[in-house]
């Protein structure tokens, strides 16, 4: 089934629920061992999609009993997939990032000679178990939505599997049991954790890509529809900023890109920002989104100028880029672009 054929209601449902950090690669070739695929913001912005209790997902029995359209089923699938991604994904990355922070060599694992042992953050079962159930249910509903149905199931199963290693390991370090067994369990479980991490990180990347593909198509459909009926509205120009920012992200995350093409995209975004400033939306404060868009534009320009002028990061910046907790503060970095982009995504979602 082609997402481009869905009506505006479905497109809007997908777009408004998009809260996850849409990212690409980290700053070109910066070596961050286990966090190289992680979301590149210190805090991943969330929206009301994940703050309120979701309605119970559709089941095959409910679909048979009620007159539920294919569009409504697709909307339910996407709401479940995105909400669960928002709730679960960043917590796994934060957990493993914490674990890696006190290890001298992540591949080798704990040696027993560490001066500081932080352990590893546990994963919240109350988030994982319901999402596992819901995703398994909605993925079976017709019509299918591939490849995201399969990607979602593989992803949540990988989360369940890695949690079975992380949570007992978290308790082990919390209780300082490594002092009783000379890190024997820590060393054994480290091997299991690396194995589960390989599966999870690959599933996370595939799942994120599948969500983005559906969302990109939905945004373009929505933008084309709005261009016909509301081409000069704030909503149209705001969505245009989001669509073009995504295109710019894909360009500038490459090892090599055309500076001229990138600056042309920045100019298009600037035109849309200027247009939003001319619009007044009754009952809605749009200033925060506009400010976030300008911050994103500045961060993108800083990166493009750094590439254009052949400016390398200094040693201090390179050290900052080693951690997801500080990388987003480095001017001219892709991590800073992503941080400002994610902030803009959050402010855009608050408008809807």
The full 3-state SS of the chain, as one line of letters, equals CCHHHCCHHHHHHHHHCCCCCCCCCCCCCCCCCCCCCCCCCCCCCCCHHHHCCCCCCCCHHHHHHCCCCHHHHHHHHHHHHHHHHHHHHHHHHHHHHHHHHCCCCCCCCCCCCCCCCCCCCCCCHHHHHHHHHHHHHHHCCCCCCCCHHHHHHHHHHHHHHHHHHHHHHHHHHHCCCHHHHCCHHHHHHHHHHHHHHHHHHHHHHHHHHHHHHHHHHHHHHHHHHHHHHCCCCHHHHHHHHHHHHHHHHHHHCCCCCCHHHHHHHHHHHHHHHHHHHCCCCCCCCCHHHHHHHHHHHHHHHHHHHHHHCCCCCCHHHHHHCCCCCCHHHCCCCHHHHHHHHHHHHHHHHHHC
Mean pLDDT of 214-225: 86
pLDDT in tens, 58-93: 666 565 556 678 888 988 999 999 999 999 999 999
Asked if the bond preceding 244 is cis, omega within 30° of 0, the reply is no
- Weakest-pLDDT range from 48-52, 55-59, 207-211: 48-52
pLDDT in tens, 290-332: 999 999 999 999 999 999 999 999 999 999 998 878 899 999 9
Q: Which is more confidently placed, 351 or 23?
A: 351
Residue 32's pLDDT band, with cuts at 50, 70 and 90, is: very low
- Say whether pLDDT at 166 is over 50: yes
Residue 25's pLDDT band, with cuts at 50, 70 and 90, is: very low
Nearest CA to 321 out of 93, 22, 104, 27 is that of 27
- Angle formed at CA 195 by CA 192 and CA 198, multiple of 5 degrees: 150
Interhelix angle 184-229/8-16, rounded to 10 degrees, is 140
Q: Which is more confidently placed, 2 or 314?
A: 314
- Say whether pLDDT at 53 is over 60: no
């Amino acid at each position: 089934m082609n997402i481009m054929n869905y009506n505006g209601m479905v497109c809007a449902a997908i777009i408004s629920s998009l809260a996850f950090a849409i990212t690409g690669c980290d700053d070109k070739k910066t070596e961050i061992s286990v966090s190289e695929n992680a979301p590149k913001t210190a805090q991943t912005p969330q929206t009301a999609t994940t703050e309120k209790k979701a309605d119970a997902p559709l089941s095959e029995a409910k679909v048979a009993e009620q007159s539920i359209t294919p569009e409504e089923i697709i909307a339910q699938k996407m709401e479940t997939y995105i909400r669960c991604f928002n709730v679960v994904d960043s917590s796994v990355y934060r957990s493993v990032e914490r674990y890696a922070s006190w290890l001298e060599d992540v591949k080798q694992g704990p040696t027993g000679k560490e001066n500081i042992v932080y352990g590893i953050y546990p994963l919240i079962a109350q988030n994982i178990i319901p999402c596992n159930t819901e995703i398994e249910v909605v993925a079976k509903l017709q019509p299918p939505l591939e490849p995201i149905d399969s990607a979602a199931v593989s992803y949540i199963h990988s989360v369940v599997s890695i949690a079975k290693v992380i949570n007992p390991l978290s308790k082990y370090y919390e209780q300082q049991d490594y002092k009783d067994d000379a890190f024997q369990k820590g060393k054994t479980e480290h091997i299991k954790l690396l194995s589960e991490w390989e599966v999870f990180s690959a599933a996370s990347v595939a799942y994120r890509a599948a969500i983005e593909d559906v969302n990109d198509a939905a945004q373009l459909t929505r933008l084309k529809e709005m261009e016909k009926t509301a081409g000069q509205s704030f909503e149209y120009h705001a969505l245009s900023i989001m669509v073009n920012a995504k295109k710019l992200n894909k360009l500038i995350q490459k090892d090599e890109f055309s500076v001229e093409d990138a600056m042309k995209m920045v100019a298009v975004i600037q035109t849309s920002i200027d247009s939003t400033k001319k619009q007044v939306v009754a009952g809605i404060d749009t200033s925060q989104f506009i400010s976030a868009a300008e911050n994103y534009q500045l961060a993108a320009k800083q990166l493009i100028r750094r590439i254009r002028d052949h400016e390398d990061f200094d040693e201090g910046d390179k050290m900052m880029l080693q951690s997801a907790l500080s990388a987003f503060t480095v001017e001219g970095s892709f991590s800073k672009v992503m941080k400002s982009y994610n902030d803009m995504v959050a402010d855009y979602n608050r408008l809807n």
